[in-house]
Structure 1
Amino acid sequence: MKVILHIGAHRTGTMSFQSYIRRHSKELRDDGLGFWGPMRTHNGLFAGVQPTPGFGRTAARRARGRILLNLKKAQAQGVETLFVSDENMMGSVRMNLRKSRLYPDIGERLARYIWAFDQRIDKIVLSVRALDHFWASSLAHGVGQRHAVPDAARCLGIARQPRTWRDVVSDVSCAAPLAQIEVTPFEMSADRPDLMLMAATGHAAPRDAAPEWLNRAPTAAQLRDVLAERGEDIDAVPDTDRRWNPFDTNARAALREAYADDMHWLISGANGLATLTEELDQTRAGKTPPHGPYKRGLGHDIEERRMAQPG
């Protein structure tokens, strides 16, 4: 049985992607594809993998035994490929915001999961997103979860911090040296979960007539409502119905340049550490042929799609 970990990242449509797989779980299961998502991994399956105050190595060993037992059951049930999707394996948006760093502890976290799976990981799938949009979405999500509105100095600090997706990929490779690492840009996969799943697993996947978009970052207008309910200054966020981006022109330029460098590194082979999925429509189409041209309004910013095209 082949085991694939889809580890996120957050703010790259992971919840929508997982919802898509759940809706089509029977069809996928009939094709030999099993799925463990957050509804299962957060329901005790992964409990103890990461250190928790008051619980020691015994909890980690029990978690490992529980995971291996479930792997054995899945294989006995005829699962050919097990797809495990849980973005919290990488860490959390809260930790990113607290440290103003991109998944600073992903290496240690992922190494614990690799141990818990007894090194039986064939592939790790990582979704990445243009850094200015990733951080803007993360900050908007944070403000919606009662974080303070970041000032210009903090935004500039985030833009200038040196850690990018290249560092994340390198840490993943160190934690899982035996696994294939595949990187898929959010900009090309946001409205085609079927193609992303096929690219990741090689299994045919049904297409949704109308892709959904869950857990979107709140708009500026929605954030102003949140601030008003908390009794805070609503003018800390501009009065507009558009998506909120707290970064000024210089900060956005720095983040976009860093992302362009990441894409160049990935396109150039990532020093042999990872493979970039550049064209989903041309990747292992399986039983489902590509469907039509891209249409605006199906869930992501067209500017992000343009940024994903190698120049």
Structure 2
Amino acid sequence: MDVILHLGAHRAGATTFQTYLRGAEPQLAGQGVGVWGPWRTRKGLLHGLMDPTRRSGDALRAQGRVRLATTASAARGVATLMVSDEDMLGTPRGCVRAGALYPDAGARLRRVAAGFDGVTRAVIQIRSPEMWWASTLAHLVARGLPLPEPERIEAFSTSQRGWRQVISDIAVALPRATLLVTPFERFVTRPDRLLRQVSGLLYTPPVPPTGIWAHRAPPLEDLRQVLALRGDDPALLPAGPGRWMPFGPEQSARLRERYADDLFWLRAGADGLARLTEDPEAGQGRFNWPPAPQRKGHSHDRQKGRLAGTC
């Protein structure tokens, strides 16, 4: 049975993709595709795999639980298992605390991979960092996070950890898996075509006529109301409607430049670690293949240009 890990990321169309997968489950089952989304993974199935365990034996029990579930799926005729949970990379609050993108992605994914008898493919959808941080902060402020101080915003914009480092960590954690990277900006409205690129299916169930775009960040109007309800000053946020953008022009430009560098690296082959596809059109995927197959593993930490110890 092939195992495909959809890693998100958060605030990059993950909930939209999961909403699509859940609605398409019956049709996908007819093609031998099983789906584990957050509705299953977060009800105890992956408990003890993603975070470090404190008690001896917890990790082994978690691995055994997942392997029993995969065995049961295979017995039901599932040939391809799609596991979609962006928490495999980390959490938005963890990123904010660290001031960086998914600092523990590699360690978390190594623990997750131990629960499966091999991971065939993994996919991550990335997003321009100034938009990712803006969406993440809006999402968390609406759930109780204090408005970040200007110094914190500046630290986010100067972090040296970009998607390149996250992707490198994933590749090291999943050395035998094919790693696919897609841009949020190209695929967010077409989860069906994202599934086609990830799974290789010739037919994927269509998106509903009204489309899907789930779990959008709250706009400024909603955030000001949240601040007022909890006793904070709504005037701390900009006036008017629309999206909250916490970064100034120079900070946004800095983050966009980092994203452009990451995309350049991916288009150039990503050092053999990953494959980028930017074209969601069915049958017209514009792939950027690595220049030559390379063995992935911890040896990549020692390669020239590789950031050691870096979703």
The answer, yes or no, to whether TM exceeds 0.5 is yes
For residue 217 of structure 1, report the CA deviation from its aligned partner. Answer: 0.7
For residue 275 of structure 1, report the CA deviation from its aligned partner. Answer: 0.2
Give the 3-state SS of the residue equivalent to 2:57 in structure 1.
helix
- Partner residue of 1:214? 214
Deviations, residues 2-36 of structure 1 (Å, cap 9, x unaligned): 11000111001111211111111101110111100
- Partner residue of 1:239? 239
TM-score (norm 1): 0.88
Q: Counterpart of 2:82 in structure 1: which amino acid?
A: F
For residue 146 of structure 1, report the CA deviation from its aligned partner. Answer: 1.1
- Partner residue of 1:58? 57
Q: For residues 188 and 176 of structure 1, what CA distance do their matches in structure 2 show?
A: 25
Q: Do 2:66 and 2:115's aligned partners in 1 also have CA atoms closer than 8 Å? A: yes
Q: Do 2:50 and 2:88's aligned partners in 1 also have CA atoms closer than 8 Å? A: no
For residue 151 of structure 1, report the CA deviation from its aligned partner. Answer: 2.9
Map residues 148-159 of structure 1 onto 2, 5 A cutoff. 148-159=146-157
- Partner residue of 1:168? 166
Q: Do 1:50 and 1:60's aligned partners in 2 also have CA atoms closer than 8 Å? A: no
Q: For residues 190 and 50 of structure 1, what CA distance do their matches in structure 2 show?
A: 26
- Partner residue of 2:187? 189
Q: Do 2:193 and 2:282's aligned partners in 1 also have CA atoms closer than 8 Å? A: no
Map residues 1-311 of structure 1 onto 2, 5 A cutoff. 1-51=1-51, 55-118=54-117, 120-203=118-201, 204-208=203-207, 209-283=209-283
Q: Do 1:184 and 1:277's aligned partners in 2 also have CA atoms closer than 8 Å? A: yes
Q: Do 2:33 and 2:79's aligned partners in 1 also have CA atoms closer than 8 Å? A: yes
Q: Counterpart of 2:161 in structure 1: which amino acid?
A: R
Q: For residues 139 and 43 of structure 2, what CA distance do their matches in structure 1 show?
A: 24
Q: Do 2:157 and 2:255's aligned partners in 1 also have CA atoms closer than 8 Å? A: yes
Q: For residues 274 and 239 of structure 1, what CA distance do their matches in structure 2 show?
A: 42
Q: For residues 148 and 15 of structure 1, what CA distance do their matches in structure 2 show?
A: 24
> Which stretch shows the higher mean deviation, 82-91 or 199-208?
199-208
- Superposed CA RMSD in Å reads 1.3
Deviations, residues 73-100 of structure 1 (Å, cap 9, x unaligned): 1111111111000000001000011111
Q: Do 1:124 and 1:180's aligned partners in 2 also have CA atoms closer than 8 Å? A: yes
TM-score (norm 2): 0.88
Q: Counterpart of 2:158 in structure 1: which amino acid?
A: R
Q: For residues 42 and 149 of structure 2, what CA distance do their matches in structure 1 show?
A: 34
Q: For residues 282 and 261 of structure 1, what CA distance do their matches in structure 2 show?
A: 27
Q: Counterpart of 1:113 in structure 2: which amino acid?
A: V
Deviations, residues 259-311 of structure 1 (Å, cap 9, x unaligned): 000000000000000000121214478xxxxxxxxxxxxxxxxxxxxxxxxxx
Q: For residues 92 and 38 of structure 1, what CA distance do their matches in structure 2 show?
A: 14
Q: Do 2:105 and 2:169's aligned partners in 1 also have CA atoms closer than 8 Å? A: yes
Q: Which runs of 4+ in 1 moved over 6 A?
A: none
Q: Counterpart of 2:183 in structure 1: which amino acid?
A: P
Residue 216 to residue 62, structure 1, CA distance change in 2 (3 Å): same
Q: For residues 97 and 81 of structure 1, what CA distance do their matches in structure 2 show?
A: 34
Q: For residues 142 and 8 of structure 1, what CA distance do their matches in structure 2 show?
A: 17
For residue 51 of structure 1, report the CA deviation from its aligned partner. Answer: 4.1
Q: Could you tell me which runs of 5 or more consecutive residues in structure 1 were left unpaired when the two chains were aligned.
A: 286-311
Give the 3-state SS of the residue equivalent to 1:210 in structure 2.
coil
Give the 3-state SS of the residue equivalent to 2:144 in structure 1.
coil
Q: For residues 19 and 49 of structure 2, what CA distance do their matches in structure 1 show?
A: 24
Q: Could you tell me which runs of 5 or more consecutive residues in structure 2 were left unpaired when the two chains were aligned.
A: 286-311
Percent of aligned positions with the same letter in both sequences?
Answer: 42
